[in-house]
Chain A
């Protein structure tokens, strides 16, 4: 009854994608060619996934215990990254997960799968210009407009209740869909910022100095935690509002698997096309306005503005707290793969069951695209998959993405009766020194899968 899935990966789960001996592959393509009579997991233990990734710098760059001053390291990281570098954390914990084949053993009524998982998602771009301003000020940057749109981050916790269905619509085409209801535990989004801080030489006053600010941080479900008098336990309170306590949203996944030839397979999926409407416990913090600072200038006329610079500024660029509902969109993930299989197992030569893969080897390519607050991120993967036996599958991947050009992944899926386990890791070269890796992932899991069979059940 033990089913544990521990996964550490970027949201690109390239080793797991289309590894159809593992039920979790259906979460990456609801139209995956995965057949079962039924499968299930233990509540709370059916899945855990965690990913940390940063492009442009690693933990070692910032926190190496090497005697170098932390501020020097921080400066080096800030200056060596770009505004499109980012840090991301994604964590998923499956509360339960299961599936069942519909209809009798001879019928083709499709497969149902369902589950509930919790997800934590954090994404922040490198706030490069504000960081330079905080580190060094504007002294060496006369003429530069510090771009406030560099501030872009979001964080959320949500529960996702999902039901999926896939079916062979013809001998060589499987389509699937998964509907999702999102329950938002909390959300903080600040991705629509603009404005600048500019100092440049002027002919009259020494400088032309302008602050144009259009900053907004939307939050839902966090007001009580940031209140001054909050003394509760954040973790347990968030859990309470995760289910049915907070905001709701809807979304779906779609996918297919198509065999143009027996040994050629094409798959694609789109995941998390959905939104969450934030209406409960909403707070919007804004910092908006325009101020041109010219100095403390006497007019010698006797008719002066009685206000000082400081209060003028505070009136021009205002901090406000509003209570407007807002909508967030889930990051949309797109997966696609092309696979060519070859080499038939000699002992399985004539047991070519429909839909199952008698081939020993497969090579192919996968594409992953995910929407972000700015340009989508893309990863390209080449893979080799080997059926060592009907009970053991191995998959090796090589991935190019914004985190690394040397991402090698390995995965293994093994079956002992109904008991299935898999182990996966990517960025294996990063394991030479974990602290220097930009992103890392390890996955393993245990499933009970009761195979669909072509034999009558009472045989």
Chain B
């Protein structure tokens, strides 16, 4: 009889445990819905060119400054596939008493221009002289950006008071990128 008594207790415990436990409806397939949409802030470009950089050692003016940089971020095929949208924010502060035109040109592997961003920068006249702009790259324009492999900077000086070795001020570009991605 004692054996049955033990069995009874064991069975009773199992039954009570079994009947009181339950589990909410779970769906592990939801993992397939995983979609990451991080937004990254990054430096895009920067320069600080003093007025004297437009003056040669002999005192003559250079009418422009030019440079070309490798731009290989979009060689990464993963980044390319995740990209949804890119905003480039530009902030140009000119403290030289000359006006400038700044061209930022994105080039493909064969140095063909894909898109050009133009800025007309007024001459400094004693008051704050900052211009800002946000260039948005999405859809067709984003596809152009993905093909970019080089970036060309051209600063052309507009006519105005002659600069010399003692000229003050500088033209400063600060630029950042806001990169919208979607990873699925």
Chain A positions within 8 Å of B, measured between CB atoms, are: 59-60, 62-66, 69-71, 73-74, 133-139, 142, 199, 204-207, 209, 293-302, 304-311, 391-392, 410, 412, 414, 416, 421, 423, 425, 428, 431-436
Contact = CB atoms under 8 A, between A and B. Distances in A.
Contacts of A293: 42-43
Contact of A142 (B6, B41, B70, B183): B41
A219 B81 CA distance: 31
B45 A295 contact: yes
A398 to B, nearest CB: 18
Interface string B140-159: 00000000000101010000
Interface string B54-92: 000000000001111111110110000000000001010
Contact of A64 (B26, B33, B73): B26
Given A137-B181, A294-B46, A65 B25 contact: yes
Contact of A300 (B13, B26, B49): B49
A432 B23 CA distance: 8
29 contacts: A63-B30, A64-B25, A64-B26, A70-B31, A70-B33, A71-B33, A134-B36, A137-B38, A137-B39, A138-B40, A209-B43, A294-B46, A295-B46, A296-B71, A297-B45, A298-B45, A298-B153, A299-B47, A300-B153, A302-B67, A307-B70, A308-B75, A309-B73, A310-B73, A423-B10, A423-B14, A431-B20, A432-B22, A435-B26
Nearest to A311: B72
Nearest to B155: A300
Kindly name the residue among A207, A294, A301, A304 whose own CB sees the greatest number of chain B CB atoms within 10 A: A207
Given A432-B20, A434-B23, A296 B45 contact: yes
Contacts of A309: 70-73
B48 interface: yes
- The interface residues of chain A, by DSSP majority, are classed as mixed
A300 B71 contact: no
A66 B22 CA distance: 16
Nearest to B174: A206
Interface of B: 2-3, 6, 9-10, 13-14, 17, 20-28, 30-31, 33-49, 53, 65-73, 75-76, 89, 91, 151, 153, 155, 174-176, 178-179, 181, 183
B69 A412 contact: no
Nearest to B44: A295
B10 A412 contact: yes
Contacts of A199: 41-42
A139 B24 contact: no
Contacts of B26: 59-60, 63-65, 435
A139 B41 contact: yes
Nearest to B71: A296
A394 B14 CA distance: 15
Contacts of A206: 43-44, 46, 89, 91, 174-176
A59 B23 CA distance: 10
B17 A308 contact: no
B65 to A, nearest CB: 4
A435 B153 contact: no
Contacts of B181: 137
Contacts of A412: 9-10, 13
A300 B66 contact: yes
A227 B112 CA distance: 41
Contacts of A295: 42-46, 175
Nearest to B43: A295
A434 B21 contact: yes
Contact of A65 (B27, B33, B49): B27
A422 B176 CA distance: 66
Contacts of B38: 133-138
A423 B13 contact: yes
Contact of A310 (B34, B72, B174): B72
B108 to A, nearest CB: 14
Contact of B76 (A142, A207, A310): A310
Kindly name the residue among A70, A136, A293, A425 whose own CB sees the greatest number of chain B CB atoms within 10 A: A70
Contacts of A133: 38
A296 B153 CA distance: 11
Given A304-B69, A309-B71, 12 more contacts: A65-B26, A71-B33, A137-B41, A138-B40, A139-B178, A206-B91, A294-B46, A296-B69, A300-B65, A311-B72, A431-B22, A433-B22
Nearest to A388: B9
A218 B174 CA distance: 42
Closest A-B pairs by Cβ, 6 of them: A308-B72, A137-B38, A308-B70, A298-B67, A295-B43, A431-B21
A169 B169 CA distance: 90
Contacts of B66: 300
A311 B17 CA distance: 61
Kindly name the residue among A135, A209, A298 whose own CB sees the greatest number of chain B CB atoms within 10 A: A298
B36 to A, nearest CB: 5
Contacts of A205: 43, 46, 174
A199 B72 CA distance: 21
Contacts of B179: 137
Nearest to B21: A431
A406 to B, nearest CB: 15
Given A63-B27, A310-B75, A135 B17 contact: no
